[in-house]
Amino acid sequence: MHKLVRSARFAVKTLRQTSLCARTITTTPFPEFADLSQLKSHDDLHKFSLENPEQFWGRLALSRLQWDEEFQSVLNCELEKGEIDWFLGGKLNASVNCVDRHLATRGDQLALIWERDEPGTEEYVTYRELSEMVGQIANVLRNSGVKKGGRVAIYLPMAPITVATMLACARIGAVHSVVFAGFSAEALASRIQDAEVETVVTADQGVRGGRIIPLKQAVDAAVAQCPSVKRVFVYQRTGADVPMGPKDIPLEKAMSGESTECAPVSLASEDTLFMLYTSGSTGKPKGIAHSIAGYLLYVATTFKHVFDYQPGERFGCVADIGWITGHSYALYGPLCCGATTLLFESSPIYPNPGRYWEMVQRLQLNHIYLAPTSLRLLLKAGDSWVNKYDLSSLRTLGCVGEPLNHEAWDWYYEVVGQKRCDVIDTWWQTETGGICISPRPSSPGAHIEPGMPMRPFFGIKPVLVDEKNEEVNGEDVEGALCLGSLWPGMARTIYGDHQRYIETYLKPCPGLYYTGDGAHRHKGGNYQITGRMDDVVNVTGHRLGTAELEDIMDTHPDVAESAVVGFPHDIKGEGIFAFVVLKEGVKHSHDDIAQALRAAVKQGIASYAQPDFILFTNGLPWTRSGKIMRRILRKIASNQADELGDVSTLADPSVVEGIVKGYKALH
């Protein structure tokens, strides 16, 4: 039995039906299956992908990746041991797949658009220029002693050099471990130590939202605690005069002495491409490891079909490369498909809340892929920031990371997309490598349902499981979301701790991959994510997804965003504590709004779901990766504000003080 599901009962989501989105979905067909005449519809192909994963992924692997040596088998697996091998016997190189193979046909096409912090100072990099940069950095790394399998920590701002460094690692078979350049020196040090990193690549400084981020200074503090580090390459982002020690090597200077050509190493399919630590909001960070062929195939395929990317289009994933979204959909997916991809260095509100939209107009982006948290922030700033700009180039409005509540969904669809664009809410995880559930691809003419990612991708079989580990069948049901199929993009291990990988993902529900999320399967088989299983609140024996409560509260016209946690309650087991951020210029009193919110929850779910406490606060503790750190809110709600622990991964740690003060005033 898996422990995390604490009750059989999940709250049933009241779905607001809408006719707003009876839209025709655009989808690109799969030429690889054109000869199979029995596969007539989207559903036929989906069924085929689940019943014949070897044929499905085998055909795609041959046509979409460039191999040095073809694989001998598609899938070998001993699930209980967590031994999952795709494309054994195959040899390839990820940097060749992402760069070299495009040179003959699109060497002069843009690979990267670097949207630097200051609007209007963007830079462009063609595939040929990227190839030269990758070659030089690969030579620098190799000649300085970086070997196949060696770990390289990358602590760089969003810039072409960052992408080139990652691809240079891939070229020589080194394993990159990108650490978000907003993490503290301590967070960086623990990641360096965990992977026994010898090589670090950083910059003098970063720039974000007009503010300087002292990257080299943080690296110096981290490296002082990390004896494994032998060398630190320093890229000049600002040209600041930073102190250079004996291990430090100026990167551009080292590059200028190297050839732009570097022979790629032919690597096995299952060699590790990279590791990436999952956000530290629970326990010790896990170094999630992805292997070359499976990951690359999965992100390239999902990129092409979820976003329906067409040649020549400009794809704008605004996620930082320090997160999996940046890896999969700013770098590997787009470049493997020969796309033009954006690198966004700035902030959604710099210099003002019109930044994204001004950028879309200026750069003529066709797709934007962002986080619901930034949407809610921008929504709060008002429609005028959107309406100023011509967004007619946009076709896809993507989002990822947390539930896209109805109010944000509507705003995205109506105000940003002017009802012209598909809103594509994508569900996936660092561990899944790429998108697993999303409205696209689908049959032509299919609907998009607001507030949920809806449909499993090809090869993905969502399974809902109850607390007895039994599969929950039928529609309009909830359970722990597991995946009952194997897909090539899934993580293969936790670096240095394979047992933890097995325990976390494969043991809770034997035979299935355990996601840790809860989901609701609606009518028509559409999936809605109800939130992390560990964010579930149990009130008088009734289980409530915090996301559901938040969705209802966020719909109130005065509410900008909210977060709900449980706290110990003498009578009910757990009570509900809601932290609510109001929009600017709200006219109603707090009491009136609180009353309206309680009524809305009662109406939307049930009276037991009404919050015991509603605290109005100026902000929520968002991590830099765009998640609310609920651990902190739970502690505050439980009157344990003196045990908050590490808050250094928060985007703005000062928010916490305000919430604690508010809590004290409330009691």
Binding track over 342-381 against ligand WTA, x by CB under 6 A: ----------------------------------------
One-letter amino acid of 520: H
Is residue 231 close enough to count as binding ligand WTA by CB under 6 A?
no
- Look at residue 303 and give its three-state secondary structure: helix
- Strand pairing of 267-268 and 542-545? unpaired
Closest CB to ligand WTA among residues 174, 519:
519
Q: How far is the CB of 333 from ligand WTA (least distance, A)?
A: 12
Closest CB to ligand WTA among residues 30, 323:
323
Binding track over 305-324 against ligand WTA, x by CB under 6 A: ------------------xx
Closest CB to ligand WTA among residues 220, 425:
425
From CA 436, how far away is CA 463, in angstroms rounded?
13
Contacting range for ligand WTA; rule: CB under 6 A; set: 66-74, 145-153, 196-204, 425-433:
425-433
Binding track over 111-150 against ligand WTA, x by CB under 6 A: ----------------------------------------
From CA 502, how far away is CA 241, in angstroms rounded?
47
One-letter amino acid of 128: R
Beta carbons within 10 angstroms of residue 368's beta carbon? 28
Degrees, nearest 5: CA angle 586-592-597: 90
Any bridge partners for residue 237, and if so which?
Answer: none
Full strand arrangement of the beta sheet holding 513-521: 462-465, 477-483, 513-521, 527-532
Q: How far is the CB of 144 from ligand WTA (least distance, A)?
A: 32
Closest CB to ligand WTA among residues 99, 437:
437
Residue with tokens 């990267």: 112
Q: How far is the CB of 499 from ligand WTA (least distance, A)?
A: 20
Among 267, 368, 400, 614, the residue binding ligand WTA under the rule CB under 6 A is 400
The DSSP-derived string for 561-623 is EEEEEEEEETTTEEEEEEEEEEPTT--S-HHHHHHHHHHHHHHHT-GGGS-SEEEE-S---BB
Q: Please, where are the H alpha helices in 271-340? A: 292-306, 324-326, 333-336
Is residue 417 close enough to count as binding ligand WTA by CB under 6 A?
no
Beta carbons within 10 angstroms of residue 507's beta carbon? 15
Q: How far is the CB of 330 from ligand WTA (least distance, A)?
A: 12
- Strand pairing of 91-92 and 83-88? unpaired
Q: How far is the CB of 417 from ligand WTA (least distance, A)?
A: 17
Is residue 396 close enough to count as binding ligand WTA by CB under 6 A?
no
Start-to-end Cα distance in the chain: 39
Closest CB to ligand WTA among residues 234, 404:
404
Q: Which of 94, 459, 456, 431 is nearest to 296 (CA)?
A: 94
Q: How far is the CB of 123 from ligand WTA (least distance, A)?
A: 27
Among 235, 332, 385, 427, the residue binding ligand WTA under the rule CB under 6 A is 427
Contacting range for ligand WTA; rule: CB under 6 A; set: 104-112, 165-173, 401-409, 459-467:
401-409
From CA 256, how far away is CA 503, in angstroms rounded?
47
Closest CB to ligand WTA among residues 169, 324:
324
Q: How far is the CB of 546 from ligand WTA (least distance, A)?
A: 11
Q: How far is the CB of 58 from ligand WTA (least distance, A)?
A: 26
Contacting range for ligand WTA; rule: CB under 6 A; set: 112-120, 422-430, 491-499, 503-511:
422-430
Structure tokens at 415: 């105000």
Is residue 478 close enough to count as binding ligand WTA by CB under 6 A?
no
Full strand arrangement of the beta sheet holding 175-178: 248-250, 231-235, 199-203, 151-155, 175-178, 272-277, 287-291, 493-494
Closest CB to ligand WTA among residues 516, 611:
516
Among 139, 281, 374, 430, the residue binding ligand WTA under the rule CB under 6 A is 430
Any bridge partners for residue 268, and if so which?
Answer: 91
**Helix, strand, coil percent content, the chain, rounded in steps of 5:** 35, 25, 40
Among 429, 442, 526, 610, the residue binding ligand WTA under the rule CB under 6 A is 429
Contacting range for ligand WTA; rule: CB under 6 A; set: 467-475, 496-504, 514-522, 657-665:
514-522
Is residue 493 close enough to count as binding ligand WTA by CB under 6 A?
no
Is residue 402 close enough to count as binding ligand WTA by CB under 6 A?
yes
Contacting range for ligand WTA; rule: CB under 6 A; set: 334-342, 421-429, 563-571, 585-593:
421-429
From CA 412, how far away is CA 360, in angstroms rounded?
14
From CA 37, how far away is CA 34, in angstroms rounded?
7
Among 157, 173, 348, 401, the residue binding ligand WTA under the rule CB under 6 A is 401
Closest CB to ligand WTA among residues 71, 329:
329
Task: Report the interface residues with ligand WTA, using CB under 6 A.
Answer: 278, 323-325, 400-403, 425-430, 453, 515-517, 529, 532, 625
